[in-house]
Amino acid sequence: MTNALVTFPIKEQFRQSLSEQFPQIHFDFANTIEDAGGKEVTILVTYGSDLTEEILDQLTDLKWVMVASAGVDKMPLEKLGERGILVTNVSGIHKTPMAESVLAHILSLNRALPIIQAQQKQKVWEKMKSSELRGSKALILGPGAIGGEIGRLLQAFGVYTIGCSRSGGVHNGMDEDISFAHIQEYLPEADYIISVLPSTQETRWILERSHFQLMKKSAVFMNFGRGDLVKEQVIVEALQQGEIAHAVLDVFQQEPLPLESPLWEMENCTVSPHVSALSAKYVERALEIFNENLQVWLSDNKEFKNVIETERGY
Protein backbone atom coordinates (compact mmCIF):
# COMPACT_ATOMS: atom_id res chain seq x y z
CA MET A 1 0.00 0.00 0.00
CA THR A 2 1.18 3.51 -0.86
CA ASN A 3 1.80 5.76 2.15
CA ALA A 4 0.84 9.44 1.82
CA LEU A 5 1.80 11.94 4.50
CA VAL A 6 -0.25 15.14 4.61
CA THR A 7 1.31 17.96 6.66
CA PHE A 8 -0.79 20.56 4.83
CA PRO A 9 -3.44 21.26 7.51
CA ILE A 10 -6.94 20.25 6.36
CA LYS A 11 -10.25 19.76 8.12
CA GLU A 12 -11.65 16.40 9.18
CA GLN A 13 -14.24 16.39 6.39
CA PHE A 14 -11.50 16.65 3.76
CA ARG A 15 -9.44 13.93 5.49
CA GLN A 16 -12.36 11.54 5.46
CA SER A 17 -13.21 12.23 1.87
CA LEU A 18 -9.60 11.60 0.76
CA SER A 19 -9.46 8.28 2.63
CA GLU A 20 -12.81 7.20 1.23
CA GLN A 21 -12.03 8.26 -2.31
CA PHE A 22 -8.63 6.57 -2.44
CA PRO A 23 -8.79 3.29 -0.46
CA GLN A 24 -5.59 2.12 -2.23
CA ILE A 25 -3.64 4.76 -0.32
CA HIS A 26 -2.90 4.98 3.37
CA PHE A 27 -3.15 8.60 4.49
CA ASP A 28 -1.34 9.95 7.51
CA PHE A 29 -2.21 13.41 8.75
CA ALA A 30 0.37 15.17 10.92
CA ASN A 31 1.29 18.71 11.79
CA THR A 32 4.95 18.23 10.94
CA ILE A 33 7.02 15.69 9.10
CA GLU A 34 8.77 14.80 12.37
CA ASP A 35 5.41 14.00 14.02
CA ALA A 36 4.86 11.34 11.42
CA GLY A 37 7.89 9.41 12.63
CA GLY A 38 9.72 6.94 10.43
CA LYS A 39 6.90 6.18 8.03
CA GLU A 40 7.82 4.96 4.59
CA VAL A 41 6.35 7.93 2.87
CA THR A 42 5.86 7.77 -0.91
CA ILE A 43 3.70 10.88 -1.32
CA LEU A 44 4.16 14.06 0.72
CA VAL A 45 1.51 16.82 0.71
CA THR A 46 2.98 19.95 2.30
CA TYR A 47 3.01 23.75 2.33
CA GLY A 48 6.68 23.24 1.50
CA SER A 49 8.72 24.84 4.25
CA ASP A 50 8.98 21.67 6.38
CA LEU A 51 10.88 19.68 3.76
CA THR A 52 14.56 20.24 4.56
CA GLU A 53 17.46 18.40 2.91
CA GLU A 54 18.00 16.45 6.10
CA ILE A 55 14.42 15.21 6.23
CA LEU A 56 14.49 14.47 2.52
CA ASP A 57 17.44 12.15 3.12
CA GLN A 58 15.36 10.21 5.64
CA LEU A 59 12.40 9.82 3.29
CA THR A 60 14.02 7.16 1.15
CA ASP A 61 10.77 5.99 -0.46
CA LEU A 62 9.62 9.49 -1.47
CA LYS A 63 8.38 9.64 -5.07
CA TRP A 64 6.10 12.71 -5.15
CA VAL A 65 5.92 16.02 -3.29
CA MET A 66 2.71 17.96 -3.81
CA VAL A 67 3.34 21.51 -2.60
CA ALA A 68 0.11 23.24 -1.57
CA SER A 69 1.44 26.68 -2.51
CA ALA A 70 2.90 28.34 -5.60
CA GLY A 71 6.43 29.07 -4.41
CA VAL A 72 8.93 26.24 -4.21
CA ASP A 73 12.01 28.45 -3.73
CA LYS A 74 12.57 27.30 -0.12
CA MET A 75 12.65 23.63 -1.08
CA PRO A 76 15.74 21.45 -1.73
CA LEU A 77 15.00 21.42 -5.45
CA GLU A 78 18.43 20.22 -6.54
CA LYS A 79 18.29 17.11 -4.39
CA LEU A 80 14.68 16.46 -5.38
CA GLY A 81 15.79 16.69 -9.00
CA GLU A 82 18.74 14.34 -8.50
CA ARG A 83 16.48 11.72 -6.97
CA GLY A 84 13.92 12.17 -9.77
CA ILE A 85 11.16 12.97 -7.31
CA LEU A 86 8.01 14.42 -8.89
CA VAL A 87 7.25 17.91 -7.57
CA THR A 88 3.87 19.52 -8.26
CA ASN A 89 2.36 22.71 -6.92
CA VAL A 90 -1.04 24.44 -6.96
CA SER A 91 -0.08 27.61 -8.79
CA GLY A 92 -3.34 27.84 -10.75
CA ILE A 93 -5.46 28.24 -7.64
CA HIS A 94 -3.77 31.49 -6.73
CA LYS A 95 -4.77 33.33 -9.82
CA THR A 96 -8.27 34.34 -8.74
CA PRO A 97 -7.54 35.79 -5.27
CA MET A 98 -4.23 37.30 -6.41
CA ALA A 99 -5.66 39.00 -9.47
CA GLU A 100 -8.57 40.27 -7.39
CA SER A 101 -6.09 41.65 -4.83
CA VAL A 102 -4.05 43.43 -7.49
CA LEU A 103 -7.16 44.98 -9.04
CA ALA A 104 -8.46 45.93 -5.57
CA HIS A 105 -5.29 47.91 -4.80
CA ILE A 106 -5.15 49.58 -8.23
CA LEU A 107 -8.81 50.62 -8.18
CA SER A 108 -8.68 51.69 -4.55
CA LEU A 109 -5.80 54.08 -5.28
CA ASN A 110 -7.42 55.38 -8.48
CA ARG A 111 -10.78 56.02 -6.89
CA ALA A 112 -9.20 57.55 -3.75
CA LEU A 113 -10.65 55.03 -1.27
CA PRO A 114 -7.95 55.65 1.39
CA ILE A 115 -8.83 59.38 1.31
CA ILE A 116 -12.56 58.62 1.47
CA GLN A 117 -11.96 56.44 4.54
CA ALA A 118 -9.72 59.01 6.23
CA GLN A 119 -12.31 61.76 5.61
CA GLN A 120 -15.08 59.59 7.04
CA LYS A 121 -13.13 59.21 10.30
CA GLN A 122 -13.01 63.02 10.52
CA LYS A 123 -16.63 63.41 9.29
CA VAL A 124 -15.35 65.51 6.40
CA TRP A 125 -17.53 65.90 3.29
CA GLU A 126 -15.17 67.06 0.55
CA LYS A 127 -14.48 66.16 -3.04
CA MET A 128 -10.99 64.86 -3.80
CA LYS A 129 -8.93 64.14 -6.89
CA SER A 130 -9.52 60.77 -8.45
CA SER A 131 -8.56 59.24 -11.75
CA GLU A 132 -9.71 56.58 -14.15
CA LEU A 133 -8.05 53.25 -14.81
CA ARG A 134 -9.35 53.18 -18.40
CA GLY A 135 -6.73 54.21 -20.91
CA SER A 136 -3.71 53.44 -18.73
CA LYS A 137 -0.84 51.03 -19.38
CA ALA A 138 0.34 48.10 -17.27
CA LEU A 139 3.63 46.24 -17.48
CA ILE A 140 3.23 42.77 -16.02
CA LEU A 141 6.43 40.97 -14.99
CA GLY A 142 5.64 37.26 -15.08
CA PRO A 143 2.74 36.78 -17.51
CA GLY A 144 1.98 33.18 -16.47
CA ALA A 145 -1.26 31.89 -14.93
CA ILE A 146 -1.50 34.66 -12.33
CA GLY A 147 -0.12 37.44 -14.52
CA GLY A 148 -2.43 36.39 -17.34
CA GLU A 149 -5.46 36.61 -15.07
CA ILE A 150 -4.36 40.09 -13.93
CA GLY A 151 -3.92 41.04 -17.60
CA ARG A 152 -7.34 39.70 -18.57
CA LEU A 153 -9.05 41.73 -15.84
CA LEU A 154 -7.06 44.89 -16.61
CA GLN A 155 -8.05 44.55 -20.27
CA ALA A 156 -11.70 44.45 -19.24
CA PHE A 157 -11.11 47.88 -17.64
CA GLY A 158 -9.61 49.21 -20.88
CA VAL A 159 -5.99 48.98 -19.75
CA TYR A 160 -3.26 48.20 -22.30
CA THR A 161 -1.25 45.26 -20.99
CA ILE A 162 2.37 44.37 -21.71
CA GLY A 163 3.67 41.02 -20.55
CA CYS A 164 7.36 40.82 -19.72
CA SER A 165 8.90 37.34 -19.57
CA ARG A 166 12.28 35.71 -20.12
CA SER A 167 11.35 34.57 -23.60
CA GLY A 168 9.08 37.43 -24.65
CA GLY A 169 6.70 34.79 -26.02
CA VAL A 170 2.97 35.36 -26.48
CA HIS A 171 0.90 35.09 -23.30
CA ASN A 172 -2.81 35.24 -22.46
CA GLY A 173 -4.20 38.53 -21.23
CA MET A 174 -1.48 40.63 -22.88
CA ASP A 175 -1.81 43.18 -25.67
CA GLU A 176 1.93 42.98 -26.22
CA ASP A 177 4.72 40.65 -25.10
CA ILE A 178 8.33 41.62 -24.48
CA SER A 179 11.40 39.92 -23.09
CA PHE A 180 13.31 41.11 -20.02
CA ALA A 181 16.01 42.42 -22.35
CA HIS A 182 13.61 45.18 -23.48
CA ILE A 183 12.19 46.25 -20.11
CA GLN A 184 14.05 49.60 -20.06
CA GLU A 185 12.29 50.73 -23.23
CA TYR A 186 8.87 50.07 -21.75
CA LEU A 187 9.27 51.36 -18.19
CA PRO A 188 8.84 55.07 -19.12
CA GLU A 189 5.38 54.37 -20.58
CA ALA A 190 3.89 52.21 -17.83
CA ASP A 191 1.36 53.51 -15.30
CA TYR A 192 1.52 50.22 -13.38
CA ILE A 193 4.49 47.92 -13.02
CA ILE A 194 3.21 44.67 -11.50
CA SER A 195 5.47 41.75 -10.62
CA VAL A 196 4.18 38.26 -9.91
CA LEU A 197 7.54 36.67 -10.70
CA PRO A 198 8.63 33.61 -8.75
CA SER A 199 12.00 33.62 -7.06
CA THR A 200 14.55 31.95 -9.32
CA GLN A 201 18.22 32.51 -10.04
CA GLU A 202 17.17 34.63 -12.99
CA THR A 203 14.70 36.89 -11.17
CA ARG A 204 16.68 37.57 -7.98
CA TRP A 205 17.48 41.29 -7.58
CA ILE A 206 16.79 42.00 -11.25
CA LEU A 207 15.09 45.35 -10.56
CA GLU A 208 17.58 48.05 -9.64
CA ARG A 209 17.51 51.74 -8.86
CA SER A 210 18.07 52.57 -12.55
CA HIS A 211 14.78 50.83 -13.41
CA PHE A 212 12.86 52.99 -10.96
CA GLN A 213 14.51 56.11 -12.35
CA LEU A 214 13.05 55.22 -15.75
CA MET A 215 9.50 54.94 -14.41
CA LYS A 216 6.87 57.69 -14.57
CA LYS A 217 6.69 59.86 -11.46
CA SER A 218 2.98 58.94 -11.39
CA ALA A 219 3.67 55.19 -11.68
CA VAL A 220 2.56 52.58 -9.17
CA PHE A 221 4.96 49.69 -8.51
CA MET A 222 3.43 46.47 -7.20
CA ASN A 223 5.33 43.42 -5.98
CA PHE A 224 3.07 40.40 -5.47
CA GLY A 225 5.68 37.80 -6.47
CA ARG A 226 8.68 37.36 -4.21
CA GLY A 227 10.59 39.79 -2.02
CA ASP A 228 13.97 39.12 -3.59
CA LEU A 229 13.02 40.80 -6.87
CA VAL A 230 14.38 44.12 -5.62
CA LYS A 231 16.28 45.32 -2.54
CA GLU A 232 14.04 47.02 -0.01
CA GLN A 233 16.43 49.97 0.06
CA VAL A 234 15.91 50.54 -3.67
CA ILE A 235 12.14 50.85 -3.19
CA VAL A 236 12.55 53.11 -0.16
CA GLU A 237 14.82 55.48 -2.08
CA ALA A 238 12.62 55.53 -5.18
CA LEU A 239 9.64 56.46 -2.98
CA GLN A 240 11.59 59.03 -0.96
CA GLN A 241 12.93 60.68 -4.12
CA GLY A 242 9.47 60.74 -5.71
CA GLU A 243 10.67 58.65 -8.64
CA ILE A 244 7.35 56.79 -8.47
CA ALA A 245 4.03 57.75 -6.88
CA HIS A 246 3.23 54.65 -4.86
CA ALA A 247 4.33 51.10 -4.08
CA VAL A 248 2.02 48.27 -3.10
CA LEU A 249 4.02 45.42 -1.62
CA ASP A 250 2.65 42.04 -0.63
CA VAL A 251 6.09 40.40 -0.41
CA PHE A 252 9.32 41.59 1.20
CA GLN A 253 13.01 40.87 1.35
CA GLN A 254 12.47 39.74 4.95
CA GLU A 255 9.08 38.46 6.16
CA PRO A 256 7.47 39.41 8.44
CA LEU A 257 8.61 42.91 7.51
CA PRO A 258 10.89 44.01 10.42
CA LEU A 259 9.44 46.72 12.67
CA GLU A 260 12.37 49.01 11.85
CA SER A 261 11.62 49.03 8.11
CA PRO A 262 10.83 52.57 6.92
CA LEU A 263 8.21 51.13 4.56
CA TRP A 264 5.68 50.76 7.40
CA GLU A 265 5.42 54.52 7.89
CA MET A 266 5.65 55.68 4.28
CA GLU A 267 2.39 57.23 3.12
CA ASN A 268 3.11 56.29 -0.49
CA CYS A 269 3.65 52.62 0.35
CA THR A 270 1.02 50.00 1.07
CA VAL A 271 2.35 47.18 3.26
CA SER A 272 0.30 44.02 2.74
CA PRO A 273 1.37 41.06 4.92
CA HIS A 274 1.70 38.45 2.14
CA VAL A 275 -2.06 37.88 1.98
CA SER A 276 -2.91 38.44 -1.67
CA ALA A 277 -3.32 34.72 -2.40
CA LEU A 278 -5.48 34.04 0.65
CA SER A 279 -8.95 32.82 -0.01
CA ALA A 280 -11.65 31.06 1.93
CA LYS A 281 -11.65 28.56 -0.95
CA TYR A 282 -7.91 27.83 -0.78
CA VAL A 283 -7.86 24.36 0.82
CA GLU A 284 -10.78 23.15 -1.25
CA ARG A 285 -9.08 24.20 -4.48
CA ALA A 286 -5.68 22.82 -3.47
CA LEU A 287 -7.26 19.44 -2.72
CA GLU A 288 -9.08 19.46 -6.05
CA ILE A 289 -5.72 19.67 -7.81
CA PHE A 290 -4.25 16.99 -5.50
CA ASN A 291 -7.24 14.74 -6.27
CA GLU A 292 -6.77 15.12 -9.99
CA ASN A 293 -3.07 14.36 -9.76
CA LEU A 294 -3.69 11.43 -7.45
CA GLN A 295 -5.98 9.94 -10.07
CA VAL A 296 -3.21 10.41 -12.61
CA TRP A 297 -0.79 8.72 -10.16
CA LEU A 298 -3.07 5.70 -9.88
CA SER A 299 -3.63 5.50 -13.63
CA ASP A 300 -1.24 4.56 -16.44
CA ASN A 301 -1.35 8.06 -17.83
CA LYS A 302 1.42 10.15 -16.30
CA GLU A 303 0.25 13.59 -17.34
CA PHE A 304 0.37 15.40 -14.04
CA LYS A 305 -0.87 18.98 -13.62
CA ASN A 306 1.38 21.74 -12.27
CA VAL A 307 4.67 19.88 -12.51
CA ILE A 308 7.66 21.88 -11.28
CA GLU A 309 10.84 21.60 -13.32
CA THR A 310 13.30 21.33 -10.46
CA GLU A 311 16.19 22.80 -12.45
CA ARG A 312 14.23 25.84 -13.59
CA GLY A 313 12.49 26.34 -10.24
CA TYR A 314 8.93 26.88 -11.56
User: Considering the complex, what minimum distance in angstroms separates the CB of residue 132 from its own copies?
Assistant: 5
58, 61, 128, 233: which one contacts its own copies (CB under 8 A)? Answer: 128
User: Considering the complex, what minimum distance in angstroms separates the CB of residue 135 from its own copies?
Assistant: 8
3-state secondary structure 6-21: ECCCCCHHHHHHHHHH
Q: Which is nearer to its own copies, 116 or 214 (CB)?
A: 116
Residue window 68-97: x/- pattern of binding to its own copies, with contact defined by CB under 8 A: ----------------------------xx
Neighbours of 39 (CB within 10 A): 15
Instruction: Give CB contacts under 8 A, 24+ apart, made by 201-207.
Output: 201/313, 202/166, 203/228, 203/229, 204/228, 204/229, 205/229, 205/230, 205/231, 206/180, 206/230, 207/234
Find the binding residues for its own copies in span 214-233 (CB under 8 A): none
Cα–Cα distances (Å) from 115 to 129, 132, 243, 252, in that order, read 9, 16, 22, 25
Contact of 252 with 232, CB cutoff 8 Å: yes
- Does the footprint of its own copies cover residue 296 (CB under 8 A)? no
User: Considering the complex, what minimum distance in angstroms separates the CB of residue 59 from its own copies?
Assistant: 29
- Does the footprint of its own copies cover residue 117 (CB under 8 A)? yes
Q: What share of the chain is helix, strand, coil (3-state, %, to 5)?
A: 35, 15, 45
- Does the footprint of its own copies cover residue 257 (CB under 8 A)? yes
Contact of 191 with 175, CB cutoff 8 Å: no
- Does the footprint of its own copies cover residue 205 (CB under 8 A)? no
Q: How far apart are CA 65 and CA 70, in angstroms?
A: 13
40, 52, 61, 107: which one contacts its own copies (CB under 8 A)? Answer: 107
54, 256, 300, 301: which one contacts its own copies (CB under 8 A)? Answer: 256
Distant-in-sequence, close-in-space partners of 100: CB < 8 Å, separation ≥ 6: none
Q: Please identify, among the stretches 18-26, 29-37, 128-136, 200-208, the one whose residues bind its own copies according to the rule CB under 8 A.
A: 128-136
- Does the footprint of its own copies cover residue 125 (CB under 8 A)? yes
Q: How far apart are CA 36 and CA 30, in angstroms?
A: 6
Amino acid identity of residue 168, one-letter, is: G
| Strand bridging mode 137-141 / 160-165 | parallel
User: Considering the complex, what minimum distance in angstroms separates the CB of residue 122 from its own copies?
Assistant: 9
Q: Which is nearer to its own copies, 45 or 269 (CB)?
A: 269
Residue window 138-177: x/- pattern of binding to its own copies, with contact defined by CB under 8 A: --------------xx--xxx-------------------
Chain residues binding its own copies by CB under 8 A are: 96-97, 100-101, 103-105, 107-108, 110-114, 116-117, 119-120, 123-134, 152-153, 156-158, 255-257, 259, 264, 270-276, 278-281
